[in-house]
C-alpha cells in the first residue's frame, strides 16, 4: 500500500490554492507559508488528512498580519492596562483607518505649504479645555513629565512631596524618570503629611518648578495632609500638576478625581495627563497650560523624540470631537440596565444547559485611575473552569475568578457584544 504521506502536495502547489493565494495578498506570504508548512508536518505525523491540508492551513491563519488579538474584556476593569487600556470609539477607529493612507497631517491644502502638525487634534484639545492657554501632545504621560523636567528644570531642582514619589507601573519610578533628565529632586515633607510651608522652605534660585503628583494608583488614609495647587501657585514658581488619569473636566461619577480644568483655574502652570485612560482615547501624553511654557516644551529638541504619529493624532481628535468613547459610556452605565442584561444572558445560557447565574458585581476604573472607587455592576457567574476555556476561544473572553466562579462583568462589555459573549460561552461549554 502506498504511504499516504507520499501524496502530500508540494508547498508551491498549496500556495497556488486560490484561497491561500488570496490570504497571502491580504496578510502576507510568510504567514501563509508558515501555516502550510505546519499543516504538511501535521499530515506527515498522521494528524491531518492529506486531502485537507489546504483547509487545515486556511483555518490556522490569523485574521490579520498582526499578532495582537482582539478580546472581549469582561473583567470589570474599565481601563485594563494589560488589555490595552481604553478601547477606541467607532469614530476613532474610522479616523485611524482614514489616516492610515496619505493625509494632510502637516500640509495646508489651501496654500500648498507646510502646516502645523496635528492642528486638528490640538484644536480639539484646546476646545475641550478652554482654561488652557496652549496645548501640546506627546506619546504618553511619562513623556510629558520627561519633557517638563528636561525643558524647565534641566540642571535645576524639582520640588515635590515625599508622599508623591510614585511608581507608575512595571517598575518605572517617577523619581528615577525625572532624575534621568539631569534635574535634581528636592523632596519635602513626609510620606503622609506635607504642608505648603514645607514647599516654601525648599524654594530658591535653583528651583525649576514645583511638581504636584496625583497618587492615582494607591490611597493613603488616616493621619494625612497635602498642599493644594492654589496654595502652591501662590508661592511664585511654576506648578506642574500631574493628574495622570486624563480627566479633562469634573465628573460627578468621580468627584474626588482631579481634572485638568479645575487645576488650571486653581493656578497650575502646566497640567499633564494621559489620553488612553479616562479620556478614552489613544495612548498620548497631554500638556495643557501657560502659553510660554507650552511653547518652550514644544520647541525643545527632546520634543521631537516624543512626537506622536498621524494615527494617534487622528484617534485623539475623533475621541475629543466624536461621541462618548466606550470608557466613558461604561463609567456611566446604570446598574439597573446591567442587571437586566446579566439576567437575560444568564437565562439564555441556562436554557442551553449552562450553569449560569446573574449576580451583582463590583467594577473598578483601573489603569491607575480613581483608586478605591467601586462601581456597582452585574455579572454572569459561571463555574471557574470557564475562565481558561474562554481565554482560549475565538474571540478570547477575559473574565475574573472569585470564590471559585468565573465572573463576566458586563460594565466592561458593550451591549452590542452580548450576543458574541453568549456564543463564546456556549462554544466553551463542555
> Could you tell me whether strands 207-213 and 239-244 are parallel, antiparallel, or unpaired per DSSP bridges?
parallel
Q: In sequence order, which ranges of 203-334 are alpha helices (DSSP H)?
A: 229-233, 260-266, 291-299, 301-305, 310-321, 326-331
CA distance 396 to 392: 6
CA distance 405 to 383: 5
Domains of the chain with CATH codes: 4-60 (no CATH), 72-83+329-428 (3.90.1150.180), 90-323 (3.40.640.10)
CA distance 67 to 5: 31
pLDDT per position as a tens digit, 150-173: 999 999 999 999 988 887 766 778
Residue 124 or 215, more confident: 124
Of 129-133, 137-141, 175-179, the least confident? 175-179
Q: Select from 133, 124, 35 the least CA-distant residue to 315.
A: 124
Q: Is pLDDT of 241 > 60?
A: yes
Q: Is pLDDT of 82 > 70?
A: yes
The answer to whether the beta carbons of residues 149 and 181 sit under 8 Å apart is yes
Q: Over range 235-260, report the average pLDDT.
A: 93
Would you state the pLDDT for residue 226? 85
Q: Select from 286, 280, 294, 245 the least CA-distant residue to 138.
A: 286
Beta bridge partners of 49: none
Beta bridge partners of 193: 225
Q: Is pLDDT of 262 > 80?
A: yes
Q: Is pLDDT of 2 > 70?
A: no
Would you state the pLDDT for residue 216? 60
Residue-wise DSSP of 181-214: TTPEEEEES-SSB--HHHHHHH-STTEEEEEEE-
The answer to whether the beta carbons of residues 163 and 192 sit under 8 Å apart is yes
**Which grid cell sits at 12?**
508551491
pLDDT > 90: percent of the chain: 83
Taking the alpha carbons of 282, 283, 288, 293 in that order, is the dihedral positive or negative? negative
Q: Is pLDDT of 1 > 60?
A: no
CA distance 9 to 17: 11
CA distance 214 to 244: 7
- Tell me if the pTM is above 0.85: yes
Amino acid at each position: 500500500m502506498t504511504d499516504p504521506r507520499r501524496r502530500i502536495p508540494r508547498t508551491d502547489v498549496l500556495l497556488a490554492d486560490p484561497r491561500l493565494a488570496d490570504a497571502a495578498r491580504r496578510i502576507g506570504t510568510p504567514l501563509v507559508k508558515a501555516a502550510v508548512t505546519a499543516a504538511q508536518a501535521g499530515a506527515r505525523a498522521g494528524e491531518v488528512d492529506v486531502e485537507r491540508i489546504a483547509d487545515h492551513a486556511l483555518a490556522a491563519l490569523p485574521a490579520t498580519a498582526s499578532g495582537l488579538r482582539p478580546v472581549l474584556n469582561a473583567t470589570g476593569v474599565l481601563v485594563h492596562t494589560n488589555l490595552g487600556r481604553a478601547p477606541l470609539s467607532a469614530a476613532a477607529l474610522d479616523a485611524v483607518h482614514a489616516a492610515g493612507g496619505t493625509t494632510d497631517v502637516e500640509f495646508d491644502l489651501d496654500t500648498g505649504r507646510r502646516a502645523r502638525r496635528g492642528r486638528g487634534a490640538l484644536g480639539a484639545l484646546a476646545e475641550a479645555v478652554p482654561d488652557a492657554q496652549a496645548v501640546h501632545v506627546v506619546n504618553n504621560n511619562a513623556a510629558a513629565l520627561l519633557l517638563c523636567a528636561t525643558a524647565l528644570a534641566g540642571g535645576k531642582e524639582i520640588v515635590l512631596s515625599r508622599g508623591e514619589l510614585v511608581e507608575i507601573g512595571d517598575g518605572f519610578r517617577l523619581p528615577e524618570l525625572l532624575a534621568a533628565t539631569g534635574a535634581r529632586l528636592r523632596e519635602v515633607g513626609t510620606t503622609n503629611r506635607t504642608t505648603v510651608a514645607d514647599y516654601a522652605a525648599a524654594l530658591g534660585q535653583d528651583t525649576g518648578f514645583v511638581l504636584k503628583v496625583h497618587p492615582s494608583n494607591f490611597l493613603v488614609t488616616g493621619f494625612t495632609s497635602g498642599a493644594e495647587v492654589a496654595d502652591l501657585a501662590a508661592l511664585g514658581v511654576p506648578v506642574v500638576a500631574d493628574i495622570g488619569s486624563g480627566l479633562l473636566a469634573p465628573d460627578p461619577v468621580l468627584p474626588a478625581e482631579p481634572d485638568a480644568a479645575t487645576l488650571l483655574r486653581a493656578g497650575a502652570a502646566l497640567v499633564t495627563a494621559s489620553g488612553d485612560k479616562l479620556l478614552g482615547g489613544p495612548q498620548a501624553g497631554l500638556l495643557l497650560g501657560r502659553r510660554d511654557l507650552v511653547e518652550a516644551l514644544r520647541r525643545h529638541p527632546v520634543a521631537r523624540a516624543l512626537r506622536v504619529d498621524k494615527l494617534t493624532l487622528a484617534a485623539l481628535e475623533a475621541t475629543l470631537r466624536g461621541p462618548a468613547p466606550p470608557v466613558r459610556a461604561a463609567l456611566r452605565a446604570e446598574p439597573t440596565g446591567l442587571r437586566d442584561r446579566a439576567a437575560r444572558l444568564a437565562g439564555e445560557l441556562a436554557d442551553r444547559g449552562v450553569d449560569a447565574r446573574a449576580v451583582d458585581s463590583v467594577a473598578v476604573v483601573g489603569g491607575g485611575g480613581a483608586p478605591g472607587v467601586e462601581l456597582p455592576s452585574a455579572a454572569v457567574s459561571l463555574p471557574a473552569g470557564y475562565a481558561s476555556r474562554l481565554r482560549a476561544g475565538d474571540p478570547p473572553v477575559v473574565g475574573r475568578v472569585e470564590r471559585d466562579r468565573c465572573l463576566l462583568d458586563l460594565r466592561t462589555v458593550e451591549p452590542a457584544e452580548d450576543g458574541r459573549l453568549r456564543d463564546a460561552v456556549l462554544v466553551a461549554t463542555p
